Amino acid sequence: MSPLPCAPLSLAIVNEDAAAGAAECYGGGGAISNDGNLTCSSSNFVSNAANGGGGGGAIYNDGIFSCSGSTFKSNNADRGYGGGAIYNDYNGNLTCSSSNFVSNAANGGYNYN
């Protein structure tokens, strides 16, 4: 399963599960690659992977990303860049509150900012 590409637009994900997604080519975000305005609430990101040298096992962010009450578990960025759970790139704006990060792995740790 390829990540959901988000063009410069707004998207809200509420009470959803994203599991076992993978970004195989160079690029990140096993579940979601965001360039726009993304909000996640009460959602689960489990066992997603960025396998192609990009970062962000679950989320690659180069836009505006906010999450609350969400769980990031067992996500992985296996080579190249960091961010087992989230890779927040240079232009990215990231805010997370009341969220859990469990057993995510990458060269740069569970989040890369």
pLDDT digits (tens, 9 = 90+) for 37-63: 988 888 888 988 887 767 888 898 999
As a whole number, mean pLDDT of residues 20-39 equals 72
pLDDT of 93-103, one tens digit each? Answer: 999 999 999 99
As a whole number, mean pLDDT of residues 2-7 equals 50
Q: d(Cα 73, Cα 80) in Å, to the nearest integer?
A: 20
Let me know: does 68 contact 98? Beta carbons within 8 Å.
yes
CA end-to-end span of the chain, whole Å?
A: 25
What φ, ψ does residue 52 adopt, rounded to 5°? Answer: -100, 20
Let me know: does 40 contact 72? Beta carbons within 8 Å.
no
pLDDT number for residue 13? 61
**Closest to 17 measured CA to CA, from 85, 77, 72:** 72
